[in-house]
Structure 1
Amino acid sequence: MKFLLLLQFLVCLASRVAGKVYGRCELAQVLKEAGLEGYRGHPLADWLCMAFYESRFNTSLVQHEFDGSTSNGIFQINSRLWCGDYKHFQPNKCQIHCSDLLTSSIRDDIVCAMRIAQGPRGLGAWMGWSEHCAGRNLTIWLDDCEL
């Protein structure tokens, strides 16, 4: 009996910690419900395009940067400024541990991305958005999504 309870607990814990690769329309719905449609003047398609080119919608993606920092999660939020990694004494402007950005739950990722987007560069803070999304017709990102 104790073994079954332990197994159940471990399965529950693993599902909370595990990352996820979102589908395009599924992510669009989550971002819309979180209030990103029109946030800081950017339509939902901008956020989808940015997330795709940053992580391919993968919440568990970690990129190791040349300066020793990491870019984390679906929006590739960098440890140099935005999240804490216990390796560096950095600003941690989003007041979150970088590992929290790697789970299937992206509420904290969204809150941090909104904070980043409030800065002077807006979505231009993300290279993926600047190179692939800025100034383009992005309506295709929402095609066939029932929002």
Structure 2
Amino acid sequence: MKGCITFQYDINSTFSGAANELSFSLLSGRRHKLRRVPHIFNLELELPFHSETEVSIQENSDCFQFIIQTYDLGDDVRAQTIEILPNIKKIVIRGSKILAWAMDELELDLWRCQLPLYTRPELASAVYEDGELIVTVPKGEE
């Protein structure tokens, strides 16, 4: 047998706990609401632009830089790290001239990028200069 790998797996033991919980839930009449999980990845950068916006991504030895040609965003642009759940974080860009629709709950079609786990989102920064938004996300140890 060429390249054959065999796994032994007891499916009954795996589903027995889930089946007991399901039967308890059905018998007791308890209902569970499904919650929307807004983030799949542990670390994510979200920019306040349409998902098809052209973004230049540069990787250096110590950071990632995301550069976007855009309209005047003002002097108060900043990166803010939001902890969605433990160990699930999102970096968002804030500022007085950033469109309000980008900060609403219905952030469906914004530009997003999954970040490697070794990045340091709490140290992320954003600056607007000469028609470019530059977001810098430092790296930690890999």
Considering the TM-score relative to the shorter chain, is it more than 0.5? no
TM-score, with normalisation over the residues of structure 1?
0.29
Higher helix share: 1
Whose relative contact order is higher, 1 or 2, with alpha carbons under 8 Å and at least 6 apart? 2
Q: Could you say which structure has the higher strand fraction?
A: 2
